[in-house]
Structure 1
């Protein structure tokens, strides 16, 4: 290789590194906004005179909009180009950050919905761009995905800390306003650095209607909203009607998508692509177990062990720290050994870590809590990376965006399932016996997840 070729390769690698950093900034905005809001609830209650159920709509609406928005924005990306839509999504984030502080809690809720849609663009766009970036830089896709994973994990872990500092300095409005410079930075840097999209048709009303399958989108949205509100308990007075509406809408969605010429979500492809569909099921179960620990452990340590919120935050840090430290290692193992060994190891480790939560029944010693959190970070790192790469490989080339968005929806569904389980198990009080119930649920989910992972591993071997 000549000096000019080497210099060109080095330049391409540096540009790819900067591009992944810019994409990572965009992908952090969804977990950052999801976690920052937790420390703003009390301020919002006080400023707007709200009850606890009223103020929690800022979380509920963000979850719902993200669950629907991830695959929807992925479909838009597949149709009109990842770079173009990423830039548009960051512009939406800037608008959402600007309108929240203007006037009234209603605008805060509107801002949260718009924020969820805008930030939902980033992850599927980043995954769609990983392939082209890997090709021009010579860096493997798993390594690029590991960098994105580290950024997302860091944002989720630091969200409450960053949110607390911003609120202390400038009030709850600051956690919305901070999205303006962050969104602009992501917009400008990706517009400058990211490879240009392949030629696509112009974004016109006719093209959007033709591409997005409005009937499929609407039926999917109705099903998701109704069932999620029912699951989250936000519509307790109309639980069974919501479930009925959700089930009927989902049935209509499947019926429509099986017949659509250009479906929003290709259910026929999912039925035929066993490796991809099993990855989605596994990821939902994986996140259900993970969020049982992530949401449940802080409640248990505060209510039962009497730790302060600050101390609990410190005790949970090894979870994120382990994930960040192991991401590059896991990426190299995937690159050298393939997906299947990492997938199986992750499933076994997840089950072990779920069983290890039993320690909390007998002791809440800080040392054991730190070990428990660190152990949970091992399968979380492996699972997130191996399943992102599995979807990227198994999805058709023209559907990587919607496939990646649907994977993120499964993350939210797993998190919601965990909150429902915790609500039932801890309803009678948070003590050692109740924590034993959480452990039983975690182990049960872990066993089912292991079975799904083994079947998925077999499907991946056949598809390779």
Structure 2
């Protein structure tokens, strides 16, 4: 088989694997009521099945990226898919809710291996097939975008036809298929670090890894308010751990995260900041709009799911055009155009303060799908060109963590705005906030330059 068909099949496997994380982060939302009934839980407790996945994914992605850089992305991808398959085969038999949350966390860790590994593998694939990296990255990003958007629809069908157990079982064939495809068609890992277990352990900066994961987890738990009585203690503990982490990384060699190198890489920092702000804007609409349509407009949840489908459809349609535009006009111009379109689409959401007409809602969700696709792929390519090949695994992991930070920030702010009621007036305040964040994203984008 020639290089191009092999590359296409490898990208298909990588895309399938990377789609599992966003798919599982979104489709679980439709199972919360069923889980509450089956396990006899209250509203606050059942949300841990979401929180466990979010926390593990956000904290685990940079670590998985670091491991991909050190020991080989193909090897790590395959390990992650095996971990997902085994965990999801056992999870439906969990005897209690606590073990189910543990299974969700382990599944999140397995799926967290996929995107950082895929970004590293893309470099080898692009060189082998003599194609630009934008095309395979675009396909991978399209899979991520589509999976997150259609997750609630897929989850709703699985739960209604089979039960919550199907949300785990569906991952077994998907992860095994991704494993087999990547194992057969992705390039063999180049030589990575070798040495005794003691040497590898000594050079792994375990305290730095634990400090990073611990500080990020504590801060996100405070933001999500998972322990209301200890919120400020969690925030203080996370801040202290973050300070210790910085102190450790500046002294240790080789560090888990080279903060000096990261500090000198202004383009990469701007990509991270812009992507986090962008996701904050997007998830305002993705999480806030369905609540508005259900509670203020009175639409049935099934109807709301269908009203959100144009977002996924337009993101899939727009991605190939975004890839071609990047090849022709380069990353910065496409990124600027995408952010401007995002601000326009967010501003158009103001129309919902006057009407909930179905054609209007369909138009607005379709409009939001275009910048979601364009900015996502342009930011992903911006991250790629802002890093050296040996840094791309951990860089991709932090990139994904920025997605979660944006989503979590949006979730917290939605709770604040909707605290006095889910209505059109409070939606209008959220739209104003989206526009302010859009202005910040635009300013960050203007500052970004492709790294020489």
Question: TM above 0.5, one fold?
Answer: yes
Distance 1:186 1:44 in 2: 29
Distance 2:406 2:353 in 1: 24
Residue 148 of structure 2 corresponds to which residue in structure 1? Answer: 156
How many residue pairs get matched?
451
In the alignment, is residue 95 of structure 1 matched against residue 86 of structure 2?
Answer: yes
Aligned 1:63-82 pairs, distance under 5 A: 63-82=54-73
Aligned 1:256-275 pairs, distance under 5 A: 256-275=248-267
Q: Equivalent residue of 2:419, what SS?
A: coil
Aligned 1:42-61 pairs, distance under 5 A: 42-61=33-52
Distance 1:12 1:396 in 2: 24
Distance 1:351 1:439 in 2: 10
Which consecutive residues of structure 1, in runs of 5 or more, have no partner in the other structure?
1-7
Q: 2:30 aligns with which of 28, 36, 39?
A: 39
Distance 2:376 2:195 in 1: 32
Q: Does the 8 Å contact 1:79/1:211 carry over to 2?
A: no
Question: In the TM superposition, what is the alpha-carbon distance from 1:358 to its structure 2 partner?
Answer: 0.7
Question: In the TM superposition, what is the alpha-carbon distance from 1:235 to its structure 2 partner?
Answer: 1.4
Distance 1:105 1:205 in 2: 36
Q: Does the 8 Å contact 1:284/1:411 carry over to 2?
A: yes
Distance 2:86 2:306 in 1: 34
Residue 219 of structure 1 corresponds to which residue in structure 2? Answer: 211
Moved more, 199-208 or 81-90: 199-208
| 1:394-439 deviation digits (Å, cap 9, x = unpaired) | 1122110000010000000000000011000010001111111111
Distance 2:350 2:129 in 1: 46
Aligned 1:47-196 pairs, distance under 5 A: 47-102=38-93, 103-196=95-188
Residue 18 of structure 1 corresponds to which residue in structure 2? Answer: 9
Distance 1:304 1:203 in 2: 61
Residue 3 of structure 1 corresponds to which residue in structure 2? Answer: none
Structure 1 80/390 Cα, relative in aligned 2: closer, same or farther at 3 Å?
A: same
Q: Does the 8 Å contact 2:84/2:107 carry over to 1?
A: yes
RMSD: 1.4
Q: Does the 8 Å contact 1:76/1:212 carry over to 2?
A: no
Question: In the TM superposition, what is the alpha-carbon distance from 1:163 to its structure 2 partner?
Answer: 1.8
Question: In the TM superposition, what is the alpha-carbon distance from 1:309 to its structure 2 partner?
Answer: 1.1
Residue 350 of structure 2 corresponds to which residue in structure 1? Answer: 358
Q: Does the 8 Å contact 1:80/1:203 carry over to 2?
A: no
Q: Does the 8 Å contact 1:131/1:141 carry over to 2?
A: yes
In the alignment, is residue 319 of structure 1 matched against residue 311 of structure 2?
Answer: yes
Question: In the TM superposition, what is the alpha-carbon distance from 1:207 to its structure 2 partner?
Answer: 5.1
Distance 1:206 1:298 in 2: 52
Distance 1:451 1:317 in 2: 30
Q: 2:325 aligns with which of 333, 340, 344?
A: 333
Question: In the TM superposition, what is the alpha-carbon distance from 1:133 to its structure 2 partner?
Answer: 0.7
Structure 1 365/391 Cα, relative in aligned 2: closer, same or farther at 3 Å?
A: same
Distance 1:253 1:400 in 2: 21
Q: Does the 8 Å contact 2:273/2:444 carry over to 1?
A: yes
Distance 1:124 1:279 in 2: 16
Q: Does the 8 Å contact 1:99/1:107 carry over to 2?
A: no
Residue 398 of structure 1 corresponds to which residue in structure 2? Answer: 390
Question: In the TM superposition, what is the alpha-carbon distance from 1:393 to its structure 2 partner?
Answer: 1.1
Moved more, 420-429 or 90-99: 90-99
In the alignment, is residue 306 of structure 1 matched against residue 298 of structure 2?
Answer: yes
Distance 2:351 2:85 in 1: 45
| 1:223-277 deviation digits (Å, cap 9, x = unpaired) | 1111111100111101111111011111111111122211112211111000000
Question: In the TM superposition, what is the alpha-carbon distance from 1:164 to its structure 2 partner?
Answer: 2.2
Distance 2:200 2:21 in 1: 24
In the alignment, is residue 436 of structure 1 matched against residue 428 of structure 2?
Answer: yes
Distance 1:167 1:206 in 2: 47
Which consecutive residues of structure 2, in runs of 5 or more, have no partner in the other structure?
none
Distance 2:320 2:58 in 1: 28
Q: Does the 8 Å contact 2:146/2:315 carry over to 1?
A: no
Question: In the TM superposition, what is the alpha-carbon distance from 1:171 to its structure 2 partner?
Answer: 1.7
Distance 2:196 2:172 in 1: 27
Structure 1 207/146 Cα, relative in aligned 2: closer, same or farther at 3 Å?
A: farther
Distance 2:396 2:257 in 1: 12
Structure 1 389/400 Cα, relative in aligned 2: closer, same or farther at 3 Å?
A: same
Question: In the TM superposition, what is the alpha-carbon distance from 1:203 to its structure 2 partner?
Answer: 8.5
Question: In the TM superposition, what is the alpha-carbon distance from 1:204 to its structure 2 partner?
Answer: 6.3
